[in-house]
Amino acid sequence: MKLPEPENKAAVVEAMFDRIAPRYDLMNRLMTFGLDRRWRHEAISALQAARGALVIDLGCGTGDLCAEAVRAGCRAVGVDFSARMLKIAASRQIACELIRADAGVLPLRDASADAVVSGFALRNFTDLAAVFRECSRVLRPSGKISFLEVDTPSAPLLRFGHRIFFNHVVPQIGKFVDRYAYAYLPSSVEYLPCEERLMEMLRAAGFRSLAKRRLMGGAVQLVTALR
């Protein structure tokens, strides 16, 4: 499918997530066979955050990562630009603050957070470099990032199976919810920089000790780094 141009991307993505918000969690469970919950647990565990640490969740959606951070004893702030996603997150009564904002222009003070997390949202941001700079700005020294995102397995057989499922099965399942949204999902991988470029962008934003873990045979990546 044809992806939106940069100047239209934010509006298109916002409208798309507003549409799919009521079925978003259900589709996540179906598409990942319920493993997305484990991955979010691993993303929060990777922070090794002290109790009471402030965790910012970018592209928080319905609040799954915020809920995981709160269960780990942290304070959480969820940021998203989809009003309907935030409405659903609020209905869950998670003990966190929710803010409607652009991840590239965060309404947060410098050096005010201990960690920034994100769950499968990087490819939806219009200016990823700006988002990384904002993460660096709001983090205290030695603050940590933990980003979950899709990836492509390196093993040929796994890569073939992943391509069939992600590019063909997911859109077929998703068309019953929103044909455009679940065709966009596999296509949006094009927005993600390659591993080398991603790491360069993080270093340029002021991050160090960069690491990447492959999950689900390489279909998912967990990127961590220190401010």
pLDDT digits (tens, 9 = 90+) for 41-69: 999 999 999 999 999 999 999 999 999 99
pLDDT digits (tens, 9 = 90+) for 18-30: 999 999 898 888 8
Look up the CATH number of the domain holding residue 29. 3.40.50.150
Three-state SS at 56 = strand
Which pLDDT value is given to residue 16? 92
Among 29-43, 124-138, 171-185, 189-203, the least confident range: 171-185
Please state, rounded to an integer, the average pLDDT across all residues of the chain: 93
Under 8 Å CB-to-CB from 105, ≥6 apart: which residues? Answer: 130, 134
The answer to whether residues 37 and 64 touch, using CB atoms and an 8 Å cutoff, is: yes
pLDDT digits (tens, 9 = 90+) for 134-193: 999 999 999 999 999 999 888 888 888 878 887 778 878 777 778 888 888 888 888 999
Which pLDDT value is given to residue 15? 93
Q: What confidence tier does 200 reach under pLDDT thresholds 50, 70, 90?
A: very high
Domain assignment present for residue 1? The answer is: no
The number of angstroms, rounded, from the C-alpha of 1 to the middle of its chain's C-alpha atoms is 22
Task: Give the torsion sign (CA, 144, 86, 184, 129).
Answer: negative
Domain assignment present for residue 38? The answer is: yes
pLDDT digits (tens, 9 = 90+) for 73-119: 999 999 999 999 999 999 999 999 999 999 999 999 999 999 999 99
pLDDT digits (tens, 9 = 90+) for 81-91: 999 999 999 99
The answer to whether residues 51 and 73 touch, using CB atoms and an 8 Å cutoff, is: yes
Specify the residue for token string 């565990």: 45
Q: Look up the domain containing 70 and give its range.
A: 6-226
How many domains, in total, are found in the chain?
A: 1
Which pLDDT value is given to residue 171? 76
Specify the residue for token string 């709160």: 70
Domain assignment present for residue 187? The answer is: yes
Query: Over the range 48-79, which residues count as b (16 or more CB within 10 Å of their CB) and which as e?
Result: ebeeebbbbbbbbbbbbbbbbbbebebbbbbb
Domain assignment present for residue 71? The answer is: yes
Which pLDDT value is given to residue 209? 98
| Six token digits for residue 17 | 């997530």
Domain assignment present for residue 196? The answer is: yes
Strand order in the sheet with 97-100: 97-100, 75-80, 54-58, 113-119, 139-150, 220-226, 208-215
